[in-house]
A and B are shown apart, each in its own frame.
Chain A
């Protein structure tokens, strides 16, 4: 072999090695589909941040949130399964699992790559990790709301209370009934006309709560009530009948607003109770506690552009509180506790703590180390013990996008221009963040704790969305609503309840009940 040929061969070998090394070191490509209210910029600051920090190549799929599952299904059918795959609707977990779209998440892999996720869930929401299992195999990491530990608010017109001689909101159903009759009959607004009612649609939740149930639906299906060893559907529970009997009487006596059928919200932002704002009713439960917080309920932090400092100031009145004041400057509102029922039950509906799932797409299995990588990134972004990491993952880079306002209560202030842009974090690429149930420390939530909103919350005995419940939910809810309205308005006598139960169970209620009980047994 001549020297030249040997040199050429060596050169080729070197080139091949360099090429191979380049391929081997090319960052791993990770496709992401997550919740977003703004499309993500592929060149966003945080995309670059993740690329660099984890040596990956993050590719955002930009699935519009308003048609999330429709759009992601098209992409999946075309073979584009996201590696980091957020399921907006928790009840889709078994569906995607059945289609073979999801990768299995072995416990050992989770322990090694997502230990902080496991810890925060087991510390604050112990049973929820199991909800991501199907037939004993983990497919989804549950996303558990930190703030849904608070039940729906019981809001009173306190100026009406004092006018009628009450010093504080009622604690028992009996006292509540008396108050509602006074709201309707004793002219609390003092205009000399009989144009007020006690409560409307949302207020009925407090009444059913005094019987220990919420007969309406959850996000993921119908509401389940534990009775003894079994779970039964709250809508057909015998206790629901007692609530209906009371409401039918109140309807007849003009205490329950006849417009309860169409509801309290008349358009616009969903949590506004127009009946309450306009002084038609004196009690409501629509929305969340923070839709009723008044001026100065707690302190907030805002970045002041002129002085370039964080300014602490009293919070502003939110939605309902603001509109109520605008409509009537003398109006005051206050919160009460869930009502104690005649049989000793006491509770109030809370939104499901299980919100959705984060999963890993099946295609990630093909690249060695990819699933581990996705879990590591998610572990850092959503569950890092250091709140600085989590806020970086959720809101961007400290000093560029936000600064600390009050470290002990974990309050940050957004910097301009981002402070003026809704969902800027989605645009810059905070694509790996999700809520984890860390105990809420923010002033607004401290206010909720101080007002005991975490006491007596009613959750469904089955929070996870099951396939049959998802299938029959719409039909079952229709049967329930028709029957409830008929019985409350007196179109049908209360004895109709038994016939309603028969109809409900025949229309899929029996199958759902079986499914839920099997699920409960399988979780034991």
Chain B
């Protein structure tokens, strides 16, 4: 006699329409996955190729397999320095941004906060208007932040968009929760960190992801505010390596690029080295992602 295993039920035959739908659905999803994954795989293949893969057409098999590209990239002094700077700005920058955004969002979420609309309006104003590149540079310079890592962290410390999401999330927390804590003798700070913060974990995780990805990818501020090689971030170093020799004008202005242009393989290796860490971190934070965005949206 066949044992009926618990949890294993006999499959019902699916109707033909359902099967058809599933076939379409799955093949579409697989296609979607392939189109998303292909660029990564191509980059990976190209990073292990010795010659110029562009000549070979598109292929997922490395041409003249070599690890030389990685050896060259990882021995580049600036990549190491850039990594250190990027890690610093990502970790410290994200932590400070979260703290500052949270600290500002909490009072703005309180209906009892005096002139709340005015202060919120002031923050939202910055979403639509900005001083522009030159005033920003002047500001950062007059604060003596040029060539310090704070030039990469402080100017973008609080993003208005993130703040609004955080504020809306906090507004959805029932007031009675805080009142009961107050009856138990908690003060404002305790309420903020012991009661409100734990509830806000999903939105905090979401914002942390956004901010850290932003910090990881940012390079333009480093280009403007960091005038010394030792302060530049890895994305800027990568950009320079990838663009080297791609500019035909460089040729026309007489710089002979044929001897030291960046091969496709070297470009691939550089991009992999610069993006892999954030790619690896992504899946672990992503689960908070959708939840956090949904919960913070459309309330106000």
Contacts A67-B223, A270-B246: A74 and B51 contacting too (C-beta < 8 A)?
Answer: no
Give the distance in Å from the alpha carbon of A62 to the alpha carbon of B246 in the complex. 21
Contacts of B236 on A, CB cut-off 8 Å?
Answer: 64
Contact yes or no, B261 A269, CB < 8 A: yes
Question: For residue B222, which residue of chain A has the nearest CB?
Answer: A64
Give the distance in Å from the alpha carbon of A356 to the alpha carbon of B252 in the complex. 10
Contacts of A351 on B, CB cut-off 8 Å?
Answer: 251-252
Contact yes or no, A326 B51, CB < 8 A: yes
Contact yes or no, A268 B228, CB < 8 A: no
Most B CB contacts (10 A, CB to CB) among A67, A74, A267, A268 go to A268
Least Cβ–Cβ distance between B215 and chain A, in angstroms: 20
Is residue B138 within 8 Å, beta carbon to beta carbon, of the partner chain? yes
Question: For residue A67, which residue of chain B has the nearest CB?
Answer: B223
Contacts of A267 on B, CB cut-off 8 Å?
Answer: 54
Is residue B285 within 8 Å, beta carbon to beta carbon, of the partner chain? no
Contact yes or no, B55 A219, CB < 8 A: no
Least Cβ–Cβ distance between B82 and chain A, in angstroms: 11
Is residue A66 within 8 Å, beta carbon to beta carbon, of the partner chain? yes
Is residue A241 within 8 Å, beta carbon to beta carbon, of the partner chain? no
Contact yes or no, B253 A323, CB < 8 A: no
Contact yes or no, B244 A268, CB < 8 A: no
Least Cβ–Cβ distance between B151 and chain A, in angstroms: 13
Contact yes or no, A66 B239, CB < 8 A: yes
Which residues from 126 to 170 on chain B have a C-beta closer than 8 Å to any C-beta of chain A? 133-134, 137-138, 141
Contact yes or no, A355 B224, CB < 8 A: no
Which residues from 245 to 278 on chain B have a C-beta closer than 8 Å to any C-beta of chain A? 245-256, 258, 260-261, 263-264
Give the distance in Å from the alpha carbon of A368 to the alpha carbon of B271 in the complex. 49
How many contacts A-B (CB < 8 Å)? 107
Contacts of B256 on A, CB cut-off 8 Å?
Answer: 147, 290
Is residue A233 within 8 Å, beta carbon to beta carbon, of the partner chain? no
Give the distance in Å from the alpha carbon of A71 to the alpha carbon of B236 in the complex. 14
Which residues from 61 to 91 on chain B have a C-beta closer than 8 Å to any C-beta of chain A? 78
B19-49 CB mask vs A (1 if < 8 Å, else 0) is 0000000000000000000000000000000
Interface residues contributed by chain A, number (CB under 8 Å): 51
Contacts A268-B52, A355-B252, A356-B253: A288 and B258 contacting too (C-beta < 8 A)?
Answer: yes
Is residue A48 within 8 Å, beta carbon to beta carbon, of the partner chain? no
Contact yes or no, A78 B138, CB < 8 A: yes
Contact yes or no, B54 A37, CB < 8 A: no
Least Cβ–Cβ distance between A289 and chain B, in angstroms: 10
Least Cβ–Cβ distance between B76 and chain A, in angstroms: 8
Is residue B279 within 8 Å, beta carbon to beta carbon, of the partner chain? no
Contacts A67-B223, A145-B254: A42 and B228 contacting too (C-beta < 8 A)?
Answer: yes
Contact yes or no, B254 A355, CB < 8 A: yes
Contact yes or no, A38 B258, CB < 8 A: no
Which residues from 40 to 90 on chain A have a C-beta closer than 8 Å to any C-beta of chain B? 40-42, 61-62, 64-67, 71, 74-75, 77-78, 88
Is residue B286 within 8 Å, beta carbon to beta carbon, of the partner chain? no
Is residue B297 within 8 Å, beta carbon to beta carbon, of the partner chain? no
Question: For residue B223, which residue of chain A has the nearest CB?
Answer: A64
Contact yes or no, B133 A271, CB < 8 A: no
Least Cβ–Cβ distance between B264 and chain A, in angstroms: 5
Contact yes or no, B224 A71, CB < 8 A: yes
Least Cβ–Cβ distance between A60 and chain B, in angstroms: 8
Contact yes or no, B134 A78, CB < 8 A: yes
Question: For residue A64, which residue of chain B has the nearest CB?
Answer: B223
Contact yes or no, A64 B240, CB < 8 A: yes
Is residue A454 within 8 Å, beta carbon to beta carbon, of the partner chain? no
Contact of B252 among A62, A219, A323 (CB under 8 A): A219
Is residue A327 within 8 Å, beta carbon to beta carbon, of the partner chain? yes
Contacts A74-B134, A78-B137: A427 and B229 contacting too (C-beta < 8 A)?
Answer: yes
Contact yes or no, A147 B55, CB < 8 A: no
Least Cβ–Cβ distance between A327 and chain B, in angstroms: 7
Contacts A61-B227, A64-B223, A326-B51: A352 and B137 contacting too (C-beta < 8 A)?
Answer: no
Give the distance in Å from the alpha carbon of A114 to the alpha carbon of B134 in the complex. 35
A267-282 CB mask vs B (1 if < 8 Å, else 0) is 1111110100110000
Contact yes or no, A323 B52, CB < 8 A: yes
Give the distance in Å from the alpha carbon of A147 to the alpha carbon of B229 in the complex. 32
Give the distance in Å from the alpha carbon of A22 to the alpha carbon of B55 in the complex. 63
Give the distance in Å from the alpha carbon of A290 to the alpha carbon of B260 in the complex. 13
Contacts of B232 on A, CB cut-off 8 Å?
Answer: 39
Contact yes or no, B246 A269, CB < 8 A: yes
- Beyond the given pairs A269-B54, A435-B254, 11 more chain A to chain B contacts, judged by CB atoms under 8 angstroms and listed by A's residue number, are A64-B236, A74-B134, A219-B249, A268-B54, A268-B264, A270-B248, A290-B258, A355-B252, A355-B253, A356-B253, A423-B260
Interface residues of A (CB under 8 A from B): 35, 37-42, 61-62, 64-67, 71, 74-75, 77-78, 88, 143, 145-148, 219, 266-272, 274, 277-278, 288, 290-291, 318-319, 323, 326-327, 351-352, 355-356, 422-423, 427, 435
Closest 9 CB pairs of A and B: A268-B54, A39-B229, A145-B254, A355-B253, A422-B260, A77-B134, A270-B248, A267-B54, A62-B227
A-B contact pairs, 6 of them (CB 8 A): A39-B232, A40-B229, A268-B264, A269-B246, A269-B261, A270-B248
Interface residues of B (CB under 8 A from A): 51-55, 78, 133-134, 137-138, 141, 223-224, 227-229, 232, 236, 239-240, 243-256, 258, 260-261, 263-264
